[in-house]
Chain A
Amino acid sequence: MDKHLHLWLVLASLFLGLSVQAETYKANFDPGYRPAISTDEGGFWYQVDKLEESIKVSPDLVTDPVLNQYVKNLTCKLAGDYCPHIRVYILRNPHFNAGMYPNGMMHVWSGLLLRVDSEAELAAVLSHEIAHFLRSHQITQWRKLRKNASAAIFADMIFTMGLASLSVASNAMAFSREQETEADLYGLQLMTTSGYSPDKASALWEYVYQESEHDKTREKGSTFFSSHPKSKDRMKLLSKKANELHTTDKEFKTNSAEYLQVVSPLYFEFMNSHLSLQDLGRTETMLDRHTRIGYPAGAVEFFKGELCKLRKGTNDETLALEHYRKSISEPQHPPEAHRELGYLLVKTDPKTAKQHLENYLALAPAASDKEMVQFYINSANE
């Protein structure tokens, strides 16, 4: 009896020990797998391939060679031996998202790049997506959906609706919470194996949660949140796991400077596209973060001015003037800051307005709105 009790105690402690130790995940996807085109699953893959062809020529594809190479290299580092099976496409889309398809196509949106503060945070999201792929979550989910829907409905959905069906299928195929949690933990394993600080995964979710708190529509409006666990829950889990990983002596890196160097040249373009969302609460949170991260101050202050201009509150015109002035006080600033200063001063201080408008044209002689600006310069002369 004592012997049995001892055995039970050993087994129980082993079980408890295993459950607190970080679980090691392994890939279970088959690199050579390709369903026959005549099957429903083959039809689905065909649509995904078609989507990839259209992405290659999409006007929203970001083609900057330095950024593309950087994100590809990072993906390869994280995916290790599986790198040749993944193809990265960076898309100009201001929402916070990244996605992975069963054929190895990965999408990274510009809205994600504007929110992560370092290579380590980008690695956290890419690892999560790679983990979905390596654990065959997309295919498992597709088969589950296929099993629950009638063959006729599915054939209709895939073959008659064309590409539009893909988004319908993608929504229906949202990963289960279990799959998301597995991708989070496997992702954490991939990023730490490559030497990235595990704290950055929960730090990113903490920021995302904070940003969503400033959004009137909250998380419901985001494509990403429609399929992913709420950021507060995932933040807690990732933070707990990161603490466990820190008990090892391993040195971890963040690589913030490297990240900023690559993304900064595209910052103006990405933020311009973000402003079209008219999501002023989120924009304010993002810009405060951009100041802390160290994006070029001339550009960040310009967008703070733009935010005030769009908000149109009682004191916003004065605040906008302050931000544009701060922007032009930086050695590197967008010429547009002069234009906006000029426009804001046209009624109250035409002389200074004229100077700023002339500065704008001097800095951007090929500006497409030069006739409009010249009109105000001429009006000030009258």
Chain B
Amino acid sequence: MKITFFAVVKRISLVAALLVLSGCAAYTLKPAGVTKVGNMQFQSTMTWNKIPSGYGPNTEVWTADGALLNQFVFVSGIQSGKAMFRDFSKDTPMPKFSAKVLPHELKALVETSLTNTSGGKYPFTGSNLKPRKVADVTGIEFDLEFFNADGLLNRGKVLAFVKNDKLYSVIFFAANTYHYDHYNPEFEAIVKSITL
């Protein structure tokens, strides 16, 4: 059987497509140091893996041991009238960000956006809301808690702020057992170093 050039190209394309679909090719190492997500700059103190973000444009996701065990979600430069994340379910559309919001209203925006990534099945609950100065503006910081699909307790922390009418957020959550305590200091290190 004669193998044509086009047949070879077709096979190579198929393999390439499979590799992209499998996601393996999209993992990249993020060594400790200064980095940027959109125009939000910060410094990490350890090596992370950047993984494909299912949350939508303007987001970036990092994990150390796998997204089910720990992850950082960076949200950078959401414009007024747009949602933080893409819609995951038509029954629970993502709430829209408005540049007019007061700082405390960002808590409900982040909680609902995270809850709606599961179509509302697994509610994220925030507590210990407090103001937080970051990049010369007052934003908010709060603790996060939710049970995932397997009933595993996850805890986390959220920073959210508005600068120049755009929304920025750093969301960290991890399995309560071991992972939360282990990676929690990294949240503080990142938040402390944010500049825009």
Please give the residue numbers on chain A whose beta carbons come within 8 Å of chain B beta carbons, in ascending order. Answer: 54, 58-59, 216-217, 221, 273, 276-278, 343, 346-347, 368-369, 371-372, 375-376
Instruction: Identify 7 residue pairs between A and B in the complex whose beta-carbon atoms are under 8 Å apart, listed by A's number.
Output: A278-B92, A343-B102, A347-B102, A368-B128, A369-B129, A372-B131, A372-B140
Residues of A within 8 A of B123 (CB): 273, 276
Residues of B within 8 A of A375 (CB): 103, 130-131, 138
Q: Is the CB of A371 within 8 A of B131?
A: yes
Q: CA A122 – CA B93 in complex, angstroms? A: 33
Please give the residue numbers on chain B whose beta carbons come within 8 Å of chain A beta carbons, in ascending order. Answer: 91-92, 102-105, 112, 115-116, 120, 123, 127-131, 138, 140, 147, 151, 153
Residues of B within 8 A of A278 (CB): 92, 112, 116, 120
Do A346 and B102 contact each other (CB < 8 Å), given the known contacts A276-B115, A278-B120? yes
Please give the distance in Å from A267's CB to the nearest CB on chain B: 18
Residues of A within 8 A of B105 (CB): 343
Apart from the given pairs A369-B127, A372-B140, 19 other A-B contacts in the complex at a CB distance below 8 Å:
A59-B147, A59-B153, A217-B91, A276-B120, A277-B120, A278-B112, A278-B120, A343-B105, A346-B102, A368-B128, A368-B129, A369-B128, A369-B130, A372-B129, A372-B131, A375-B130, A375-B131, A375-B138, A376-B104
Residues of B within 8 A of A276 (CB): 115, 120, 123
A221 is contacted by which of B91, B115, B116, B127 (Cβ under 8 Å)? B91
Residues of A within 8 A of B129 (CB): 368-369, 371-372
Residues of B within 8 A of A343 (CB): 102, 104-105
Secondary structure at chain B's binding surface: helix, strand, loop or mixed? Answer: mixed
Please give the distance in Å from A211's CB to the nearest CB on chain B: 16
A370 (CB) vs chain B CBs: closest residue: B130
B102 (CB) vs chain A CBs: closest residue: A346
Q: Is the CB of A372 within 8 A of B104?
A: yes
Q: Is the CB of A58 within 8 A of B131?
A: no
A276 (CB) vs chain B CBs: closest residue: B123
- Give the interface centre of A59, A277, A372, A375 by most chain B CB atoms within 10 Å: A372
Please give the distance in Å from B100's CB to the nearest CB on chain A: 9
A368 is contacted by which of B102, B127, B140 (Cβ under 8 Å)? B127
Q: CA A278 – CA B91 in complex, angstroms? A: 9
Q: Is the CB of B102 within 8 A of A58?
A: no
Residues of B within 8 A of A346 (CB): 102
A162 (CB) vs chain B CBs: closest residue: B150
Please give the distance in Å from B43's CB to the nearest CB on chain A: 26
Residues of B within 8 A of A371 (CB): 129-131
Q: CA A346 – CA B100 in complex, angstroms? A: 13
Residues of A within 8 A of B116 (CB): 278
Residues of A within 8 A of B120 (CB): 276-278
Q: CA A347 – CA B138 in complex, angstroms? A: 16
Please give the distance in Å from B176's CB to the nearest CB on chain A: 11
Q: CA A59 – CA B155 in complex, angstroms? A: 14
Residues of A within 8 A of B140 (CB): 372
Q: CA A380 – CA B91 in complex, angstroms? A: 39
- Give the interface centre of A217, A276, A343 by most chain B CB atoms within 10 Å: A276
